[in-house]
Structure 1
Amino acid sequence: MTSVPRVPAWATTGILTLCGLIVSLQQTLVIPLLPDMPQILGVSADDASWLVTATLLTGAVATPIVSRMADMYGKRRMLLISLAVMTVGSLVAALGGGFPFLIAGRAMQGFGASLIPVGISIMRDELPREKLSGGISLMSATLGIGSALGLPLSGVLYSAFGWTSLFWSTALVGAVLMVAIRLLINESPQRSSGRFDVVGAIMLSVVLVGFLLALSKGSSWGWASGQVIGLTALSAVTLAVWVPLQLRTRDPMVNLRTAFRPAMLLTNVSSYFAGFAMFLNGLVTTQELQVPEDTGYGLALPVVTAGLAMVPSGLMMLCFSPVSSRMLDRWGGKPTLLTGSTVMGLTYLWRVFNSDTVLNVVLGNMFVSIGTAIAFASMPALVMAVVPRSETASANGLNTLVRSLGTSSGSAVIALVFASLTVSVGGAVFPSEEAMELVHWLGVTVALASVLVGALIPTRRSGGDGEYGTIVGASGPGSAKESVGVRP
């Protein structure tokens, strides 16, 4: 293991947070270009949608696998490998010159999704106890920050330098971060023993790909189509075989006994609904800002202006990360989760009746983002209160995966609502005002579900690895066995 110098906690937090930020940016940057990609690449609109689907699928598969390998073979090592694959994927997309290379590059970029749970697990090992909550909060907020900033940044880069600049920029940042990690981040001595569960990893990949592909393509293929039914059946059958196999395996891909503990299970279920609620925010806000006024609710802003109107929500997530940190230190993970999800739910309820001006839409977007920042900061704290140090990355990886399943479900449900309730304006079809109102009520419902499930999370347990009243194992220099006082 290469020895690297100790660096200040702020430097470790900054490097790892930038890793999370570049992940969310590279997922978002391509979205504003999707309407132009068929003409640029000479493909159909359905083919162009694979630019998003490919990243989604590989990210879902890579997150639990890379996280498990990080616990076994080294967190810093797997962070570098994931970042390298993502960076090479950006280069492939920029240099390939054709649609197949672009799809391959986007698929490789999906490996970056594992950077966030692995980065949080490194924080647990490296940061002193008084800095951990702040690091967790900031790292957790990067998803929303990058998503909000990616929309206007994409338009600027595309207009000034062409579409390949989106991939050159992420490749450059990825290369710089690899050097910074190599020089400044220590490899954690914490390792889990055993052998990597290859069969379990393959079967889990089949489950995830089948389910997510059916979910993401259901609206275009048809929910009753043979492809969707077949993929769903394949996913369900594989899952039915995978679960008992994992329970019998000595060193499973996913420790289901830990995952089924009430505290862990309820945290993940609440996270699913919180992820669902978070994803609704960006989709509904974009529609409200951009569609024509004749729809009855649209504000008809140009694309660039609408993108700039999304920036405050990302800034709110950044500004509220220290607030989330203080809440974690003072109240613990469970009250913080309940507070964040409640803020999201109340904001969606307000938006049902107050989405008629640009100011109200921007304010609604901002307050949902504030709730998201608070709720997302609590999840790693709740996870790390349950699992031993040797399973930190894999447990956080599972939680990240569950949240992504929530966002994917949100995307599919909204696509169904928008396709079912439409209005025609100038020969073009848009979601109707009833559809937007229904989506707002859906936001209220899933946020409430996150609160109700989160309220059931137990705050005490006996036995296991240490007290369930603390996060065990965020050790900084000179405090290798120090417990961290962030409560569940």
Structure 2
Amino acid sequence: MSDVNHPVLHGKESSDARSGGIPLMLALMLPAQLLTISGIAGGAAQPHIVQYFHTSHIVWFNLATVMVSLFSLPFAVRLGEIYGKRRVMLILAALGIVGDIVSAIAPTFIVLILGRAIAGLYGPIVALVPACIRDCFPAKRVSMAYGVVMGSIGIVVLVSPVVVGRIIDSFGWRGTMWLLTGLTVIAIGMIALMPETPRRARFSSEFDWAGGILLGIGVSALVYGGGNFYNLGWGSLRTFGPLLVGALALIALVPVELRVASPIVDVRMLARRGIAVVIVTAGFVQFAFIVSPLVLSFIAQYPKIPMVSDGFGWTATHYAFVGIPAGVATVAAGVVTGVLLKHVGPRLLWLAGSTLLVVGLLAFSEYHYDTMQIVISSVLVGFAGGIVMACGAAMVVSVVTEDEQATVNGIAYLALQVVGGFCYQLLFAALASHQVVMQGVPFYLDAAYINSYRLLVGVAGIGLLMAFLLPRLKRPSVALESSASEGTPVQAA
């Protein structure tokens, strides 16, 4: 059960954890962006994997990772509160390496998907990092730490595509899997340099195994069922059955969580307007930004074949260099947002970033026919992405107490992945609306790319509309000081 008087929390471990500085920010950057790097590498590699294995089931390349991440997340968050987040992150990263290695040596597409599923075990690290920041930095420095660590996605967007492009052109798609293996090893070393975070609970017979299993089954089944939509349609038993199982599991979760003393997810939190709106708007807006490079990857790297494929036929390296201005824009936006969060609440910045993202995606849907058009549209999307990624964690800080931080970050990550699981299927359905299959390889016409970007405009638009329901939010540093002194939710009136 939760135990705020646990001696570890008020002893040396707690005081050490609150001494965070620049070295700790640097140590957290790579673990925070592991999943983003995996997405960038996988996105660039997918056109090559499709043609290598002659498969139309490439949608499972990402969904296998998502399903395992979703199932393991509630346990990872709760165990992080019991044993310390650093310890749990080390274990998850070590297990993820196994998946990266299996993916790199996979002789068949099925084995590749198995490896990607195992690699999903380092997914929950993304949800644990924001809670680590809150545990390891004094209140007045938390907003800056969030901006630097979460805004480092800009560096990832800037550097990763160039490195990945060089590797693909030199060593093929398998090289990207070995790159992920090496980066995960480095991430383990960085996590090992962190201080251990406070342990806010004890493992006991009250550990909510039933809640964790129901939640894991529920969200995983929903994503699996949605994953079959692209190839089988909504009417298939393999689509409808898992969706029904997932819905029933989540319905059963509610009374279970209301009865237990230490729920794996406190469902009462979702009744609070601030938390519910933050989770929903972040899920839709951040997914639209994260997945948008995948569409561009197909446009850039697929060949130009009249009446079959309207790609550019660029090398992976050329595609990466064209994306450099967008990476610079994302870095700049993350840094600026981190500074601004010291002076203004995150609501206004989030609305600005979400609006710019919708504009950028709309520009992509209409203007993606030459290098200059792609650069301009990419810069708009990249700058917007830097804002929303830096603001996301800050908004969570502004609507929860200190003890709720890890739980709400976990719920937000779950929401992002569930939204992503469904929208990812819709994205491939939009691509398939104008595709030509040759020797088992799907190629896409320009109308498919237009439909895909319009879909992402709609997804980001839903998140933007939800953002207008956000209450007025305090600055993260003020929110943290209020939470520490009062132990109450920090949402402003």
TM-score range, shorter chain: 0.7 to 0.9
Tell me what 1:470 maps to. Answer: 478
Tell me what 2:132 maps to. Answer: 122
Tell me what 2:352 maps to. Answer: 339
Tell me what 1:216 maps to. Answer: 227
More deviation in 447-456 or 417-426? 417-426
What is the rounded CA distance, in whole Å, between the counterparts of 2:335 and 2:452 in structure 1? 30
**2:82 pairs with 1:72:** yes
Alignment of 1:33-432 (within 5 A): 33-37=45-49, 45-46=55-56, 50-94=60-104, 102-142=112-152, 146=156, 149-161=159-171, 164-182=174-192, 184-192=193-201, 195-291=206-302, 292=304, 294=306, 298-422=311-435, 430-432=443-445
Report sequence identity in percent: 24
Change (3 A) 1:439 1:326: same
What is the rounded CA distance, in whole Å, between the counterparts of 1:281 and 1:327 in structure 2? 26
Q: CA RMSD in A?
A: 3.6
Q: Cα offset for 1:408? A: 2.7
Change (3 A) 1:414 1:234: same
Tell me, yes or no, if the aligned pair for 1:65 and 1:201 is still in contact at 8 Å. yes
Tell me, yes or no, if the aligned pair for 2:96 and 2:122 is still in contact at 8 Å. yes
Tell me, yes or no, if the aligned pair for 1:24 and 1:142 is still in contact at 8 Å. no
Counterpart AA for 1:185: M
What is the rounded CA distance, in whole Å, between the counterparts of 1:71 and 1:141 in structure 2? 25
Change (3 A) 1:62 1:143: farther
Q: Cα offset for 1:358? A: 1.2
What is the rounded CA distance, in whole Å, between the counterparts of 1:361 and 1:94 in structure 2? 31
When normalised by structure 1's length, the TM-score is: 0.84
Q: Cα offset for 1:73? A: 2.5
What's the CA shift string for 1:200-236, capped at 9, x where partnerless? 1111111112111122231123332110011111111
What is the rounded CA distance, in whole Å, between the counterparts of 1:392 and 1:336 in structure 2? 21
Change (3 A) 1:392 1:423: same
Q: Cα offset for 1:121? A: 1.0
Q: Cα offset for 1:374? A: 0.8
Q: Cα offset for 1:349? A: 3.2
What is the rounded CA distance, in whole Å, between the counterparts of 2:265 and 2:111 in structure 1? 32
Tell me, yes or no, if the aligned pair for 1:279 and 1:407 is still in contact at 8 Å. no
Q: Cα offset for 1:348? A: 2.6
Tell me, yes or no, if the aligned pair for 2:210 and 2:256 is still in contact at 8 Å. no
More deviation in 234-243 or 217-226? 217-226
What is the rounded CA distance, in whole Å, between the counterparts of 2:255 and 2:452 in structure 1? 37
Tell me what 1:464 maps to. Answer: none
What is the rounded CA distance, in whole Å, between the counterparts of 1:158 and 1:350 in structure 2? 29
Q: Cα offset for 1:336? A: 1.5
What SS class does the counterpart of residue 330 from structure 1 fall into?
Answer: coil
**2:37 pairs with 1:25:** yes
More deviation in 374-383 or 44-53? 44-53
What's the CA shift string for 1:259-287, capped at 9, x where partnerless? 22100001111112203421452133234
What is the rounded CA distance, in whole Å, between the counterparts of 1:39 and 1:285 in structure 2? 17
What's the CA shift string for 1:443-477, capped at 9, x where partnerless? 3333332222112112279xxxxx999332699xx
What is the rounded CA distance, in whole Å, between the counterparts of 1:160 and 1:196 in structure 2? 49
Tell me, yes or no, if the aligned pair for 2:347 and 2:473 is still in contact at 8 Å. no
Match of 1:11 among 23, 31, 35: 23
What is the rounded CA distance, in whole Å, between the counterparts of 2:259 and 2:486 in structure 1? 33
What is the rounded CA distance, in whole Å, between the counterparts of 1:283 and 1:39 in structure 2? 16
Change (3 A) 1:454 1:266: same
Change (3 A) 1:6 1:173: farther
Tell me what 2:3 maps to. Answer: none
Counterpart AA for 1:15: A
What is the rounded CA distance, in whole Å, between the counterparts of 2:116 and 2:439 in structure 1? 35
What SS class does the counterpart of residue 29 from structure 1 fall into?
Answer: helix
Change (3 A) 1:444 1:7: same
Change (3 A) 1:419 1:178: closer
Unaligned runs of 5+ in 2: 1-7
Tell me, yes or no, if the aligned pair for 2:157 and 2:330 is still in contact at 8 Å. no
Counterpart AA for 2:38: Q
Q: Cα offset for 1:323? A: 0.8
Counterpart AA for 1:381: A
What is the rounded CA distance, in whole Å, between the counterparts of 1:247 and 1:487 in structure 2? 23
What's the CA shift string for 1:157-204, capped at 9, x where partnerless? 24445655434433333333323332x311122514574311111111
What SS class does the counterpart of residue 387 from structure 1 fall into?
Answer: coil
Tell me, yes or no, if the aligned pair for 2:211 and 2:253 is still in contact at 8 Å. yes
Unaligned runs of 5+ in 1: 462-466
**2:465 pairs with 1:452:** yes
Change (3 A) 1:98 1:469: closer
What is the rounded CA distance, in whole Å, between the counterparts of 1:442 and 1:90 in structure 2? 31
